[in-house]
Structure 1
């Protein structure tokens, strides 16, 4: 990573896709589309690199309830065994089928100004593991190109927005901290699937891991704006 005196911020727009947005998304996050103006405004700022991620699942993905007889989306859980190490496992909530490769639901929403995005990173393509973090799955069997893109750009700070706050945004921010980046979630740029639980407990748990919640009008974003004059 670059020296502490440097400030090379990245913005990661997590999974701002049709299936995660009302009115037609199969796994729509309440008010999911409402974050578009904030995200586009942030993308206009002089971030060192601007990255969008996409869930891009095969139809037989392990996280889909319909792939498990008798399972109920949002209620059933499934224990995923490490593909090569049976002693390791990870239990995940099962979801409606979403963001299937090549379907309209997997597309980034048209409101997102993709002309300002430098890199698009696909994730969740391995059918055998769940992958909330845009960096890797819990076993690190599947590792995306995100980490390499940040290293190549010599990023020091990571700002995370997108969907959903309590799953993929959270996991991506946690991985960024693990990689040694100062990490922030911009509150106006995200929404949660389970808002009440997120507000009551989830955010505190995230903060304990060293992630800071900031405002689009706060001084951390002002530092990014100031880079235009540096």
Structure 2
């Protein structure tokens, strides 16, 4: 297939950014100039994603009884609502990116005028959904976005991923992208992690599925600059 790259900017929303985000990633706003540099390149497909939760979402600590409802600390086991024998353990978070709130908005510094489509995720209150493609349940999947369809319909071959957070939504979006059959590149300096100490594990997972972390000056970015 002829090279056709897509850029996915993951969840660069107010609630994930200082100074006021309820789940702010340290330095989250600092990557926006780099993201805008990437958006200015001739990617034929540019997508921004948004966490877009209902107020009663299962990942919010506020929706669980004490003592197991401490944001960042407590974990819960979620059963697949369509197959209770399949379970996932997930961390509980502060309320964030609630539909219709300021915190769910993309940060104004991001040049959204260059984005072709916005993909919303995490709307099903019953499941966690870090990946912009789908929730983690396989048997069956409960909630899917239209991201895979957009990319396949456009004939995309290579997916470049950036945004927030490197150890959660970027990570699982990149892994799902590779599993969808796209060559997948994560632009390292265009991401920030909730827990930077987790990144060694993330990179190990990437190596297993063929995701590569690159710099914004890498040969793979130069290839995009020459795209026409």
Q: What TM-score results when the alignment is normalised by the length of structure 2?
A: 0.96
Residue 127 of structure 2 is aligned to residue 129 of structure 1: yes
Q: CA deviation at 1:206?
A: 2.0
Of 98, 101, 115, 1:100 maps to: 98
- Matches of 1:66 and 1:195 in 2, distance apart? 26
Q: What TM-score results when the alignment is normalised by the length of structure 1?
A: 0.95
- Matches of 1:28 and 1:7 in 2, distance apart? 36
1:1-230 aligned at under 5 Å gives the runs: 3=1, 6-70=2-66, 71-139=69-137, 140-198=141-199, 200-228=200-228
Q: CA deviation at 1:43?
A: 0.5
Secondary structure at 1:86's aligned position in 2? strand
Q: Please give the per-residue CA displacement for 1:162-199, whole angstroms capped at 9, x wherever unaligned.
A: 0000000000000000000000000111000001222x
Structure 2 unaligned residues grouped into runs of 5+: none
- Matches of 1:151 and 1:119 in 2, distance apart? 14
Structure 1 unaligned residues grouped into runs of 5+: none
- Matches of 1:129 and 1:201 in 2, distance apart? 24
Q: Please give the per-residue CA displacement for 1:105-147, whole angstroms capped at 9, x wherever unaligned.
A: 0000001000000000000000000000000001221110101
Count of aligned pairs between the two proteins: 223
Q: Please give the per-residue CA displacement for 1:83-121, whole angstroms capped at 9, x wherever unaligned.
A: 121111111011011000000000000010000000000
- Matches of 2:156 and 2:128 in 1, distance apart? 27
- Matches of 2:205 and 2:85 in 1, distance apart? 27
Secondary structure at 1:66's aligned position in 2? helix
* RMSD between aligned residues: 0.8
Q: CA deviation at 1:152?
A: 1.4
- Does the CA contact (< 8 Å) of 2:179 and 2:209 recur in 1? no
Q: Please give the per-residue CA displacement for 1:4-30, whole angstroms capped at 9, x wherever unaligned.
A: xx1100000000000000000000001
- Does the CA contact (< 8 Å) of 2:48 and 2:115 recur in 1? yes
- Does the CA contact (< 8 Å) of 2:35 and 2:190 recur in 1? yes
- Matches of 2:76 and 2:153 in 1, distance apart? 36
- Matches of 1:121 and 1:100 in 2, distance apart? 15
Q: CA deviation at 1:205?
A: 2.6
